[in-house]
Each structure stands twice: as C-alpha cells, then as structure tokens.
Amino acid sequence: MSRISYIENFEQWQTSFSFKQEVKVRFSETDMFGHLNNTITFTYFEEARMEYFKHLGLMQKWLEANDDAIIVVADLQCDYLQQVFFDEHLYVHVKAAKIGTSSVDLHYMITREDGSVCYTGRGAIVQISKATGRSLPWAEEVKAVLGQFQEVE
C-alpha cells in the first residue's frame, strides 16, 4: 500500500481516535462486483461526521431552519485498503485533525470487528452562511469544543 499523504505514522494515527460510529453493510450498498460499492464509504463518513458533531453538541444549530449557518464539505478523500462485503459490521472512527478559522479538517478510519483497517479518509468541512454562501468563522465556544481533543492551529 502506497503511503497515504495525510497520515504520517500509521500506527500512531490508528490510536488517535476517540469517537466511533457503527455501521453494517447493506445489501443495496453492494455492487455487481460482489463487494461494497466505492461510493458508499463517503456515506459512512457523513454518517459518522454527523454523529460526531451531535456528540459534541454542535449539530442542533446547523439543523435549525431559521439559523443562517450550515456546514458544507470543502473536500473529501478516501483510501481503499481492503475490499468489504455484505453484512460486515464496521466502525467508522472520526476526529478533528486541524481547526481553522471557519473550517475543520476531519480524519476518518473504518475498521472491521477484528480491528483491521479497511478504509482511511479525510476532508475539510466549512461553516458558511446560507444567505451569502460565504464562510462564517467559528464561534469561540465551537472552536473550544472542536479543539478539546486537538491542538488548535
């Protein structure tokens, strides 16, 4: 497996997550090659990201119809280390890797029940204004919450 650009030390990185969300591979998520279709890992990333934000108490604000702030994806990437099959139980680990003014870089690791890593990923999320489409700086308390487990940039 070629080196993954966003992971410096794989063993260290593997142990750096403290939040995980369980998912089970659905039949409709497989494809005719018999394994989990490649597009679904991003659904799992989103599922875990949302749970992570809920866990941190940040999600509610973004879901309020009257609030101007929403979060959007700036970029996403996934490295496919192993094929995954129907009915497997997976854990999607997520952490805030770097916090910017109005964005946060999230890392993802998907493991099997035996702990082996099948997918890794990362991607930045940006808070924007629904009205203007422009980025909205994090409130200090949001920054604090996101940074609890992480060095703030």
Name the site residues for a copy of itself (rule: CB under 8 A): 5, 26-28, 30-35, 37-40, 42-43, 46-47, 50, 54, 63, 65, 70, 72-80, 83, 86-87, 133
User: C-beta of 113: minimal distance to a copy of itself in Å?
Assistant: 16
d(C-alpha 19, C-alpha 26), whole Å: 22
Pick 72 or 152: Cβ nearer a copy of itself: 72
CA distance 128 to 69: 6
C-alpha span between 28 and 12 (Å, rounded): 35
Neighbour-count burial of 41, counting CB atoms closer than 10 A to its CB (0-12 exposed, 13-18 middle, 19+ buried): buried
**Shortest distance (Å) from residue 140 CB to a copy of itself:** 24
Least Å distance, CB 76 to a copy of itself, is 5
Least Å distance between CB 143 and a copy of itself? Answer: 20
- Comparing CB distances to a copy of itself, the nearer of 33 and 140 is 33
DSSP state of 35: S
Contacts of 15 (CB under 8 A, 6+ apart): none
Nearer to a copy of itself, 71 or 146 (CB): 71
CB nearer a copy of itself, residue 50 or residue 56: 50
| The token pair that represents 69 in the structure block | 């702030």
